[in-house]
Structure 1
């Protein structure tokens, strides 16, 4: 199994988060968003059918939404090294309300926006998306694919047409495709065996399944998918789908992706 591994940027005051989320300053102000972790790096490519990713985030418990333009202004003041990782953002005194990452267009976008509503083809078999990923998409670290840059995110559409990608690229495509098939699917961010990672949780018939999007085993049965409660080594911190972003209430580990120990922090509204 592959993991997302990116260099860490140590800031003067930081909170150690899972490596996929890197390290962060956790100060906040009333109107200026503060990054709860630093961003990832970028690359450029030509991909078909560019999807609009811009939008705002409506944060639970606040009166003012967080626009993407605001986080881009903050990111623009950083060095390339400082903007080389995913950001978890604070807003109006609330911590970890959403995440952003740099995409192929060299700009930061909210995590939800990378799920663009893409379905490569129709299928009634829920195992087909994972099987297709195993067949067609090659795992590759971003720094090898993008001339040493530590990390970027591909949208679900880009992830299908790009031959290579790392864990979040696989997870974004898989989750978005399953959503199109009517499944409650989410991208989970956290660690696996202590290393930063992204995977998918899918809720089918009130059961939670953990889907390892980077797995290259060609499973041809949904019954072969592991129950999330039995999956060892995974420590989730955040999860998101097209519209919502969740964070755990505490640092206590969990294998359950629903319940009172999760807080729905925000809603993404695409413009």
Structure 2
């Protein structure tokens, strides 16, 4: 036991210089974090809330397997016959005998729009660091359930631009902003709809260097390293059902669970064309 204690103490003495280096690195990292937040504040305050423009979400969906497109007017006419409470939910649509061709949700303008249309091509500022959008969400946007923010309505979606300027939002609002920003940076990013630990949820999958990363857009961890983000194949508890980007909508072919977001088990159902 004494010999073991001596070796342990000697090891401690020998590692003291390394410990000092690590402490210095931590202080430098903390300083860098504060500097980054100050820089983000300066960049983000350039865009005053009064300058927010209204993005056009209108468009049609061209469904694979039929030549007849699904127009937005059709879904809005159907939704108009529902109660306000019923129409607050996300709707998944069948068209011309083809199931699950796209989804729509009620927006801040009180109208249903196709899921793809909420990705309006928005980025608050440019950056070469792919982790910055998730970091920015962590420090700028608060999580809040829709029914607490919108007088009891279950599900209201914000566009990517609205999600940036609105202080609060739930999972799909975070995911829409994150995915759209990453797309602007050249990343193949998609909003995923499904469940997390059995509860309805939305998150982002980003494909970088042919690897699929699962990004929890609502996370408030301030990660400043892309390599620290989890690979989708290693992430538990997430069960995807649909995914979409600005142009396409995918549905899973069957009910079997998967951690892969590409492959023959995903079917490209439709293409959104903005008018």
TM range (shorter): 0.7 to 0.9
**Where do 1:121-160 residues align within 5 Å?**
121-160=125-164
1:162 counterpart = 2:162:
no
Aligned-pair distance for 1:47? 8.3
Q: Which one of 224, 234, 239 corresponds to residue 235 of structure 1?
A: 239
Q: Quick check: 1:47–1:158 contact (8 Å CA) kept in 2?
A: no
* Structure 2 match to 1:110: 114
Residue 83 of structure 1 and its aligned partner are, at CA, apart by: 1.0
For 1:139 and 1:154, the matched residues in 2 are separated by 13
What residue ranges of structure 2 are gaps of 5+ in the alignment? Answer: 1-49
Q: Alpha-carbon deviation of 1:208?
A: 0.1
Select 2:270's aligned residue among 263, 266, 271: 266
- Take 1:129 and 1:236, find their aligned partners in 2: how far apart are those partners? 22
Which residue in 1 is equivalent to 2:40? none
Q: Distance in 2 between matches of 1:248 and 1:167?
A: 20
Point out which structure has higher relative CO (alpha carbons under 8 A, 6+ apart): 1
Q: 1:249 to 1:163 in 2, by over 3 A?
A: same
Query: 1:43-192 residue pairs with structure 2 within 5 A?
Result: 48-192=52-196
Cα–Cα, structure 1 residues 80 and 52, in superposed 2: closer, same or farther, change >3 Å? same
2:209 matches 1:205: yes
Contact 1:190–1:197 (CA<8 Å) still a contact in 2?
yes
- For structure 1, which segment, 142-151 or 203-212, has the greater mean C-alpha deviation from structure 2 after superposition? 142-151
Normalised to the residue count of structure 2, the TM-score between the two structures is 0.81
Q: Are the counterparts in 2 of residues 88 and 99 from structure 1 also a CA contact under 8 Å?
A: yes
Report the CA distance shift for 1:270/1:264 in structure 2 as closer, same or farther (over 3 A).
same
Taking a change above 3 Å as real, the CA distance of residues 269 and 180 of structure 1, as seen in their structure-2 partners, is same
Contact 1:248 1:262 (C-alpha < 8 Å) held by counterparts: yes
Aligned-CA RMSD value: 1.2
Bigger helix share: 2
TM-score normalised by structure 1 residue count = 0.82
Q: 8 Å contact 1:47–1:161 — kept in the other structure?
A: no
CA distance in 1, matches of 2:123, 2:87: 31
> 1:106, CA displacement in angstroms?
0.4
SS of 1:176's equivalent in the other structure is helix
Long gaps (5+) in structure 1? 1-45
